[in-house]
Amino acid sequence: MGRKKIKVLIVDDTVLYRKIIRDTLASFEEVDVVGTASNGKIALSQITALKPDLVTLDQEMPELNGVQTLRMLKAFNGKMPATVMVSAHTTKDAAVTMQALELGAFDFITKPSGASMQSNITALERQFKPILQAYAVKSNLGRAPVVSRKVPGETPPPGGSIDPETFTGQAIQSNLRPEAVAIGISTGGPKALAQVIPLLKTGLSQPVFIVQHMPAMFTKALADSLNEKSSLLVKEAENGEIVTRGRVYIAPGGKHMKVVKSLGGQVTIEITDDAPENFCKPAADYLFRSVADVYGKKTLGVIMTGMGRDGVKGLQVLKKKGAAVLAQDKKTSIVFGMPMEAIRAGVVDQVAPLSSLAGEINRICTGI
């Protein structure tokens, strides 16, 4: 018996894009496109009839737009399918996409603007591949084994293999008083961050650096959305700016972010165009290494929901410096990939659910 396929419903008001997305998804053996709909109202009835696992939702549609449809899906009487928002690469659509992700959309793709049908399909294939992989892992359609993979250059975890599903670690000492917090996050990040960053205490004395895997333009929308909800200033990081205590800096999409310290002791941010790491740009590993160089053991590393291994090697560098690491648990992670790999590598001190992460960061940072 073959592996269960992912049933997908495509929702878009343009015939052309329904065809492009259908042709794109047809290239994935694990996908079965069960239907299409031209607006959200039709989609809701199709979802009831076809029971898809995943729905692609265009932002702008007549009758019901993407966010309105998503809101109605949240009240859906039955299993809610995962949703992938389809966004134009505009400031307006980026803001709407953030709203959808905070409402619980699984992920998003951007509409390509290639010169040919095939170039657009190729661009969409690159975007859909990691999303489908993440969905398969989340749904246990392609579950990874518990035993760690051997990765060249990585130190095996102390005491043999660790089961990331049962490991909880021990509470990080509240007398650590770190000088910086560094967070790596991916799939499910905007919704998770919206439940963490606004709950960080007013007057927090540490800067908070965040790498969220996301394209250019969308990280600015993420920063703006979080800033509206938070007492701390949240902004997309800029090249050359001086790091200020109590601010939250989000790496710009499509670029890397690192921190550097001058001979005089001043810490600034550098935004670079270096090569992707772990197929990611920005990459958590890239940020974590620089934070280890500048803040060393006075760092709190945080690894949250997301697919893949980004962050593991950077956290290893932080741990060698004596830093502490907090990870999100499996139950509350949209995709338990990045935290799982960090736990397997033996670089996590404490595991906590999403609802406790802000409280733990506050406790560790303030000593209270």
- Active-site residues, by number, are 186, 213, 310
Parallel, antiparallel or unpaired: strands 256-261 and 267-272:
antiparallel
Q: CA–CA distance from 220 to each of 56, 93, 307, 347 (Å)?
A: 23, 12, 22, 30
DSSP letters of 133-149? HHHHHHTTSSPPPSSPP
Give dist(CA 268, CA 261) in Å, integer: 6
> Cβ-count burial of 78 within 10 angstroms (0-12 exposed, 13-18 middle, 19+ buried)?
exposed
Tokens coding 156: 């095996």
Q: Is 324 helix (H, G, I), strand (E, B) or coil?
A: strand
Partners of 182 in beta bridges: 209, 301
Cβ within 8 Å of residue 253, ≥6 positions away: 214, 215, 216, 217, 218, 219, 220, 282
* Residue 306, φ and ψ in degrees, nearest 5: 160, 160
Using a 10 angstrom Cβ sphere, with 0-12 exposed, 13-18 middle and 19 or more buried, the burial of residue 201 is middle
| E strand or H helix at 34 | strand 31-37
Q: 222 in helix, strand or coil?
A: helix
Measuring CA to CA, how many Å separate 60 from each of 40, 46, 66, 98, 242? 10, 19, 6, 15, 39
Report the interhelical angle of 117-138 vs 15-25 (nearest 10°).
60
